[in-house]
Structure 1
Amino acid sequence: MSSGTGLDEHLALLRRRWLPFVGCVVFGGVAALALLLLTPPVYTATTQVHVLPVGVPEPLNQVTNRQREALNLDTEAQVAQSAAVAARAARVLGGEEPEPAEVFVPPNSGVLWISVTAGGPDSAAAQSRAYAEAYLDHRRAGALSALTAQQQVMLTKYKQVNAALDQVVRELVRLPRGTPEHTLAQQRQSVLNRQSASLALKYDALRTVAVTPGSILSRATPPDAPSSPSLPLYLGTGLMAGLLAGSTAAYARDRLDRRLRTAADVERLTGLPVLGDLSGPRPHGVLAELAGEVVAACPGKRLLIRALPHDLQPARRRAEPLPVSLPLVVLDGSDARDLARAEAALLVVGLGRVTSTDVAAAVRRLARHGVPVAGVVAAAEAVPTFVPLLEPHPHHHTLGKLVASGELDLGLPPDTTPIQHFHHPQRPGMPT
């Protein structure tokens, strides 16, 4: 019978398999501490850059209650981490290849946090400042390039309009006044004059645009403490990994290990009822309870005792008396007819020496002969020997005992009915 899925069943499984569980947790914690000691420390420095509009068209956000900045800072964050900015930062550092930068954008702000993680505090601060300066230079250069291109376009259009205007003026000189051609030429001259004036204003406006890519709000300073490795992070990760590995190992061990070590294992793995547990100390009255359990569980009058394994030895200590006379014919299997006559069977399982597979095989063998298993008696390394408290009549055989094979034998012949009445033997110190 497999374990259930309730919390109690899971906790019981972890209690049974505590050794691999605890071992994995301890190993995870120790491995995390060892990795913490072996990992070289690194430092993180951050520079805050305020990004401003440069005055030329650029990607914009729709300004709402949630997004109050017109600039698309997500795009700017990707630009700050680009290879072009990294190349500029390398030139700022004098040719030294910088570490990759991490850029964070606080919500509803126009500020970029440019962080660099390096092996030393001074190097991290210098690289963070280099990235910030390189980003602003790259943004300024891009804005100037776009502005120059716009000025060039305006200047080209202005020259084209002026050239067309000169041609119209020359035509007006040749055309007679009052003719339709002269009138059309005058209208075209007026249009070109307005276009030329508009282009001149736009060109002058582009030449006076101030390029302001942004400013550095807070320059990175060398950090006092390393940002990694972190003791809580490493230890927590190690313990969590140990918990997961320990739980998996405990469940796998519980599924694969079929050995019966306790009476609870017998019921859990075989599904058979345990009528008595004789593996530990036996308090007063336990044998009487065992006798009652056996009598109540046996559906017939002939009970076959089977020991698993078959080499269980009787206990070397003094035999303990069986306090009641059993109304059963107990068969020990020594007679070839015992298996055929038995109406039920009692398994005596040696804990720590038998697996649930062995018990299942024994149950199947008995089932093939139509003998149901009434229950199980759990024993330790040896089977206790029982002698009766009540003596039978002289013409009957004496009550048997659990022999070396672990089978309880009352010594009755096959056709003898169970003994129901006994007389008490005289005990020392008792009145006759």
Structure 2
Amino acid sequence: MTPARPGPPYAVTVVGLGADGWRGVPDASRAVLRDAEVLIGGPRQLDLLPPECAGERIAWPSPLRPAVPALLAAHAGRRIAVLASGDPMFYGIGRALAEEAGDRLRVLPHPSSVSYAAARLGWPLEDVDVVTLVGRPADRLAAALHDGRRLLVLSADAGTPAEVAALLRDRGFGPSRMRVLEQLGGERERTSDETTADDWTRTPGDPLNIVAVECRGTPDTLRLGAVPGLPDEAYEHDGQLTKRYVRAATLAALAPAPGELLWDIGGGSGSIAIEWMRTHPACRAVTVERDPVRAERITRNADRLGVPGLRVVTGAAPAALAELPPPDAVFIGGGLTAPGLLDACWAALPVGGRLIANTVTLESEALLAAAHRRHGGELVRLAVAHAVPVGGFTGWRQAMPVTQWAVQKTTLDTVDTASGADR
């Protein structure tokens, strides 16, 4: 009989704690904390431990994330226990520890504040969107605002509920119902009375809180759906905007997937990058725009539409691409005739990466036709017409047609798209 393989030699055990402190810690977790030679956590968490947990106590420095490798290395060979709030793997320190310790990490979770909140409210968790504002701007909440949806917002501090109420009012969701749940699972647990964002006057309470929101928009709130193709009115722009129907077709061709990175070149108003990021919270994007005024406008649009993490690079491509991380997809919405741009984008793509380029000019169209001959893919023309008044009648007004080249890279070869020479 083959003997069982021993488990990994745990270098670090992370233990979840609730607001109920030591009395809520199960026996297995208590044993780890009593046996630990080093106890690492926030001052509040360390203060929850009784004297029988006699290990050396170390408070996390600030900023926390860069300190993780050095702290673990400094105490290598000792029994380390790290204290975390609730479930360490749900927006907690567990992620950073897993990246450093790998299979040498053991996690002993506690119910998260989200689990407690859902239980207190009677909200099925699978029907709730969770948004964290811990160390993140409140603007990211805007991407989750849809009429009728329920949100649980993880607060950074006592002032977060007021920030949430202000953002809801600003985005046309003032009628949304709000409650604040504090110290969940602890002796000082408290749930505020329900009110609307419009009527929010509550003074800051406990910093350990979560905000429950039932989204309700005003009748005239601009509807922002969950799929690409937001109304053009959602954007501040100077005319440099990929229009709604072409934008929807472009995002469909780009086919964003969670965690992928987009280069949006010739950002204009940032609409392609913004809607790429709105498809999933893990989607990332860098937009490159040479006009500083437009670059600032892109930032405002990103904040307004709930993706403040959009990175805006002010500069001209292809030079501005040199220091960017490798993309999973590239969209070229402007500057196609810049020498070397198409080559640089193609070379940067990994196998499986997608490149989409749109143009309305004959000169750029000729470049796309040549690239299509060499690389394949799909070359299409997108034409949209709108009904407009014609005297006392109605007729069609044709927008400028857009030529689009969409291709997926299948090999690592690069080709000079201007001359056709292999290299």
Query: Which structure's residues are more often strand, by fraction?
Result: 2
State the structure with bigger RCO (CA 8 A, min sep 6), 1 or 2. Answer: 1
Query: Which structure's residues are more often helix, by fraction?
Result: 1
- TM-score by structure 1 length? 0.20
Q: State which structure, 1 or 2, has the greater radius of gyration over its C-alpha atoms.
A: 1
- TM-score by structure 2 length? 0.20
